[in-house]
Structure 1
Amino acid sequence: MRDFQMPGRSAVHAANGMCATSHPLAAKVAVDVLERGGNAVDAAIAGAVLLGICEPQMTGIGGDCFVLLKPAGREDVIALNGSGRAPAGLSAEAMRAKGMTVVPTNGVEAVTLPGAVDAFCRLSADWGKLGLDAVLAPAIRYAEEGVPVAPRVAFDWAGDSDHLQGAARKHYLIDGAAPKVGAIFRAPGQAEVLRRIARDGRKGFYEGEVAEDMVASLRALGGSHTLEDFAGVACDYTSPVIGDYKGVDLVEHPPNGQGATAILMLNILKHFDLGAMDPFGAERAHIEAEATKLAYDARNRFIADPDHTTRLAHMLAPETAARLAALIDMDRAMPAAAPLTEAVHKDTIYITVVDKDRMAVSLIYSIFWGFGSGLASDRFGINFQNRGAGFTLEAGHANEAGPGKRPMHTIIPGMLKRDGRVIMPFGVMGGAYQPCGHARFVTNMVDYGLEPQEANDAPRCFTGVDGMLVERGYSDAVRARLAEMGHAVSIPEEPIGGCQAILIGADGVLVGASDPRKDGCALGY
Structure 2
Amino acid sequence: MRDFHQPGRSAVFAENGMCATSHPLAAQTAIDILKRGGNAMDAAVAGAVLLGICEPQMAGLGGDCFVLFSPAGTDDVHGFNGSGRAAAGASAQALRKSGFAAVPIHSADAVTIPGSVDAFCTLAADWGKLGLDALLAPAIQYAENGVPVAPRVAFDWQEASQFLQGAGRTFYLNNGQVPKVGEVFRNPTQADVLRLIAKNGRDAFYSGEIAEDMVATLQAIGGQHDLDDFADTRGTATHPISATYKGVELLEHPPNGQGATAMLLLNVLSHFDISSMDPNGFERAHIEAEATKLAYDARNRILADTDHTTHLERMLSTDVAAELASLISRQQAMPSAPALTEAIHKDTVYITVVDRDRMSVSLIYSIFHGFGSGIASEKFGVLFHNRGAGFSLTDGHPNELAGGKRPMHTIIPGMLRQGGRVTMPFGVMGGAYQPCGHARFISNMVDFGMDPQSAIDTPRCFADAGVLRTERGYSARTKQALSDLGHILEEPHTPIGGAQAIHIDDKGVLTGASDFRKDGCAIGY
- TM bin, normalised by shorter chain, reads over 0.9
Question: CA shift at 1:338, angstroms?
Answer: 1.3
Deviations 1:465-519 (A, max 9, x none): 2611100000011111111111110111110010000000111100000000000
Matches of 1:466 and 1:487, distance apart in 2: 9
| 2:4 counterpart residue number | 4
State yes or no: 1:459 paired with 2:453.
no
Contact 2:346 2:369 in 1 (8 A): yes
**Secondary structure at 1:447's aligned position in 2?**
helix
Question: CA shift at 1:16, angstroms?
Answer: 0.3
| 2:514 counterpart residue number | 514
How many residues are treated as equivalent by the alignment?
525
Question: CA shift at 1:340, angstroms?
Answer: 2.5
Segment drifting more, 8-17 vs 336-345: 336-345
Matches of 1:150 and 1:424, distance apart in 2: 28
| 1:115 counterpart residue number | 115
Instruction: Give 1:476-487 correspondences, 5 Å limit.
Output: 476-487=476-487
**Under a length normalisation based on structure 1, what TM-score does the superposition of the two structures give?**
1.00
Instruction: Give 1:338-417 correspondences, 5 Å limit.
Output: 338-417=338-417
State yes or no: 1:301 paired with 2:301.
yes
| 2:228 counterpart residue number | 228
| 2:83 counterpart residue number | 83
- The one-letter code of the counterpart of 1:162 is Q
| 1:65 counterpart residue number | 65
Matches of 1:290 and 1:310, distance apart in 2: 24
State yes or no: 1:171 paired with 2:171.
yes
Structure 2 residues without counterparts, runs of 5 or longer: none
Question: CA shift at 1:310, angstroms?
Answer: 2.3
Question: CA shift at 1:98, angstroms?
Answer: 0.2
Matches of 1:283 and 1:397, distance apart in 2: 35
Matches of 1:275 and 1:340, distance apart in 2: 32
Deviations 1:420-467 (A, max 9, x none): 000000000000000000000000000000000000111100011261
- The one-letter code of the counterpart of 1:28 is Q
**Secondary structure at 2:85's aligned position in 1?**
coil
Matches of 1:155 and 1:466, distance apart in 2: 26
Give aligned-pair identity as a percent.
67
| 1:162 counterpart residue number | 162
**Secondary structure at 1:67's aligned position in 2?**
strand
- The one-letter code of the counterpart of 2:169 is R
| 2:504 counterpart residue number | 504
Matches of 2:287 and 2:163, distance apart in 1: 35
Matches of 2:102 and 2:488, distance apart in 1: 25
What is the CA RMSD across the aligned residues, in angstroms? 0.6
Deviations 1:90-138 (A, max 9, x none): 0000000000000011111000000000000110110000000100000
Matches of 2:140 and 2:331, distance apart in 1: 55
Deviations 1:361-384 (A, max 9, x none): 000000000000011001111100
Segment drifting more, 66-75 vs 307-316: 307-316
State yes or no: 1:282 paired with 2:293.
no
Matches of 1:53 and 1:369, distance apart in 2: 16
| 1:245 counterpart residue number | 245
Matches of 1:221 and 1:247, distance apart in 2: 52
- The one-letter code of the counterpart of 2:187 is A
Structure 1 runs (4+) deviating above 3 angstroms are: none
| 1:209 counterpart residue number | 209
Matches of 2:256 and 2:74, distance apart in 1: 26
Matches of 2:466 and 2:408, distance apart in 1: 20
| 2:448 counterpart residue number | 448
Question: CA shift at 1:69, angstroms?
Answer: 0.7
Matches of 1:506 and 1:110, distance apart in 2: 45
Matches of 1:56 and 1:228, distance apart in 2: 27
Matches of 2:352 and 2:311, distance apart in 1: 30
Matches of 1:50 and 1:181, distance apart in 2: 18
**Secondary structure at 1:512's aligned position in 2?**
strand
Matches of 1:352 and 1:230, distance apart in 2: 28
**Secondary structure at 2:404's aligned position in 1?**
coil
Deviations 1:21-66 (A, max 9, x none): 0000000000000000000000000000000000000000000000
State yes or no: 1:257 paired with 2:260.
no
Structure 1 residues without counterparts, runs of 5 or longer: none
- The one-letter code of the counterpart of 2:275 is G
Matches of 1:11 and 1:245, distance apart in 2: 24
Contact 2:335 2:466 in 1 (8 A): no
Question: CA shift at 1:84, angstroms?
Answer: 0.2
| 2:199 counterpart residue number | 199
| 2:334 counterpart residue number | 334
